[in-house]
Structure 1
């Protein structure tokens, strides 16, 4: 029986030879990056790129200090501290090959609920050049229909008057930037790493709205001094399972929270930084003048594709993305959606062959060794679908394009939100900040077929678009009469 080694700095040299590990001296690193939201994606993406850069260049200026804003972040903070902030990145290839790499770029972690002042001071420290974010779409506090800042949020109301003990990311950023300004330090860059179109622009707009309400003079300084680079990020990173941890343990390493991901990784960034940046282009990132076509392509194909499979697959009874792709009906439906509805509203992307990109997506989704649960894919759909899918529907309506495939997805979302079960009556795990509102709107469908579409914060004016409501009405009525989603999918693609 293999004896596993607990992962920490002292045990690094005792790990199995197959494990890549940091080749740089971690004790010399400065935290040039403060990252808010240390989840699986950050650890498979920005922290991975930074780890590679530290190994290749031996720079000491770009270690990462993680920040958790919520009490729920305590677990990851405790585990990272216990392991000297090391963790294993488990890269699973479609052919079954597994690469294990110990990542050392994170060198500290702070929980804001324990000491807000210490977190503000860390962000305001002169060593901090970048504050990056993975806070999910919902963390940006915008109204999906208007894209304006939501001042009705109680946490925001609290932060506007409690400057030294904030709760939201905007309260912390504003407090830290105020301290930088008052101390005569240059502003740090605020770098979003979330799946939001024009994520830098969105972050800037939301932060300035908050800051202007709190301190108009400070907001003017932020607008002039702080840079918010747009970026497109991509790496499928499913939730780590107990089985993943057991497999790692069997290979000789005890890691309390490893990260599992696919081999594919992409990061396209606009080169707009306030106070210097890491040379991530040396390890595979791409710096471009305008990230728009890249991020739109990714959001309308990969992210929308995930939602298509997530909602349709959940109703059908599939559990994972690769399980959907293994089903020829779902693979065909997804490709038809990409070809007929998503691709026609995309601008050309320099250096990208769209057919090759879509083929690669299907291959990535079908990786049998990356079990991405549909319940995770459907998390916070109310924050995702306006950008991922409804924008494509709106453009096709304006252009006279097809909406058949996407309309069925919205119909499935209605059924999903109303019934909360698959076609066989099995309960679905639905997690959404708007779950109650979605259910209330969807539950009126049998008496008012357009009830779900009355959520204007999500659907905008879709309820007023006759071409859409006619198609949607037909799909919803058929789905409620017979929740076998496969029958409707076959009708659309035949």
Structure 2
């Protein structure tokens, strides 16, 4: 079958990609960016008529996305799967794809390009190479960047690009990190401190916080076949998404930017309440369903939600443990939001694998769950359900081999000799890159975990 391209284009993008110049660099060109920021950026271009905001996408690891998009002139479809029939939209906002391992210098040069005024990131929590205290200066890749090689870490790329610029940038983190913008600014500042030189442009560079939300499961061959049926041409770069899309951005920019608010984004002076609601309600519930669902043999999150016991636990997690810790943003009803979360997870058309959501737990737990545990303990409560979510992760670590996690070796070594629930709990609580002393020393938390891990191990 003919491949999707500018010469074989049965469904045209909403804006002519040939008219777009590059004004945005995106680090982390995975499926999520292509189904989220690239879509909002294209909608903004259509609404505003501004053609300055084409995107250079940077793949941080492999050439797979480049090899998918290059024969298609950067075009790809977003296949939306809701409760009705699927639909597809062709997106043309990505105008260039760079692969960092192959040409790291080109990445830095594009960030330094005076025509670029915005950099966005979706590199996952582990892509920041940070510890709880800040930048992990002992990370071998960070060390290698600091010695002067063309940088291959995102912090190194940003620092090297900024060092060549006269005009400041706006750098927008879109990853699930608490206060992601200020956090990224801190990492870049620590990198410059390690170099011993801070460029003048850094002070004026802005790092607005943001919160993103859209379920984007991994694309399957069946999805590609569905896209081919709808388009009449083959699309090897198609991504799958639910109809829901949300992007909340702190209104703090160094210069020109896409009119994202015309593309559906919300600009606000305080992202924190939105961010906390999403991390603690949606992301924590997603992770709990992934661990409990995988332990019960469910392949997808939708299957896990159809388990009445797991659905009840998910509702209790949000209402009993999470909601009491939150201050809702204006216009957001937390009870309604929680109900919407479960409706979205139950979408049978989105085959979001439990093992995909369960990966990288060591970096997800601190930002999705442990803040809620800490707040509930401080309030004198017994955090029954959020503790169960942590216990499910511990049991998953104990039972899963191989474990897909940046700290897999350390975690598996910790539990290797643990023959009792208490031993499993104590071994994992001792991992100081995840659990802080206040949690390790909490008798209430430990006793809950020991009982819950014991119950889960007896079932799985």
TM-score by length of 2: 0.96
Measure, in 2, the Cα distance between the counterparts of 1:10 and 1:429.
44
Q: Does 1:469 pair with 2:438?
A: no
* Pairing partner for 1:52 from 36, 39, 43: 43
Measure, in 2, the Cα distance between the counterparts of 1:459 and 1:127.
43
Measure, in 1, the Cα distance between the counterparts of 2:455 and 2:244.
39
User: Which residue is equivalent to 1:6?
Assistant: 3
Q: Does 1:166 pair with 2:151?
A: yes
1:209-238 CA-partner distances (Å, limit 9, x unpaired): 1111113332xx354111001001000000
CA shift, 1:69, in A, is: 2.7
Measure, in 1, the Cα distance between the counterparts of 2:162 and 2:240.
35
Measure, in 2, the Cα distance between the counterparts of 1:475 and 1:381.
18
Long gaps (5+) in structure 2:
none
Contact 2:81 2:240 in 1 (8 A): yes
Contact 2:277 2:328 in 1 (8 A): no
Q: 1:167 to 1:338 in 2, by over 3 A?
A: same
CA shift, 1:112, in A, is: 2.3
* Pairing partner for 2:389 from 390, 401, 409: 409
User: Which residue is equivalent to 1:176?
Assistant: 161
* Pairing partner for 1:231 from 207, 210, 215: 210
CA shift, 1:439, in A, is: 1.3
1:166 aligned counterpart, secondary structure: coil
Measure, in 1, the Cα distance between the counterparts of 2:20 and 2:108.
20
CA shift, 1:58, in A, is: 2.3
1:324-363 CA-partner distances (Å, limit 9, x unpaired): 1111111111001110001110112211011111111111
User: Which residue is equivalent to 1:301?
Assistant: 281
User: Which residue is equivalent to 1:99?
Assistant: 87
1:302 aligned counterpart, secondary structure: helix
1:217 aligned counterpart, secondary structure: coil
Measure, in 2, the Cα distance between the counterparts of 1:415 and 1:438.
11
User: Which residue is equivalent to 2:78?
Assistant: 89
2:89 aligned counterpart, secondary structure: strand
Long gaps (5+) in structure 1:
421-427, 485-494
CA shift, 1:253, in A, is: 2.5
Contact 1:310 1:377 in 2 (8 A): yes
* Pairing partner for 1:459 from 435, 438, 441: 435
CA shift, 1:446, in A, is: 2.1
* Pairing partner for 2:332 from 335, 340, 352: 352
CA shift, 1:28, in A, is: 2.3
Measure, in 2, the Cα distance between the counterparts of 1:247 and 1:478.
42
User: Which residue is equivalent to 2:221?
Assistant: 242
User: Which residue is equivalent to 1:130?
Assistant: 118
Contact 1:48 1:103 in 2 (8 A): yes
Measure, in 1, the Cα distance between the counterparts of 2:75 and 2:279.
31
Give structure 1 regions of 4+ aligned residues with deviation exceeding 4 angstroms.
none
TM-score by length of 1: 0.89
* Pairing partner for 2:26 from 21, 35, 51: 35
Contact 1:444 1:452 in 2 (8 A): no
1:138 aligned counterpart, secondary structure: helix
* Pairing partner for 1:445 from 414, 418, 435: 418
Q: Does 1:69 pair with 2:60?
A: yes
User: Which residue is equivalent to 1:26?
Assistant: 17
CA shift, 1:175, in A, is: 1.1
The 5-angstrom pairing of residues 48-447 of structure 1 reads 48-70=39-61, 72=62, 74-94=63-83, 96-143=84-131, 146-162=132-148, 165-180=150-165, 185-218=166-199, 221-251=200-230, 252-420=232-400, 430-446=403-419
1:361-385 CA-partner distances (Å, limit 9, x unpaired): 1110000101100011011111101
Measure, in 1, the Cα distance between the counterparts of 2:454 and 2:103.
53
1:452 aligned counterpart, secondary structure: helix
Figure out how many residues of one structure are paired with residues of the other and give that number.
Answer: 455
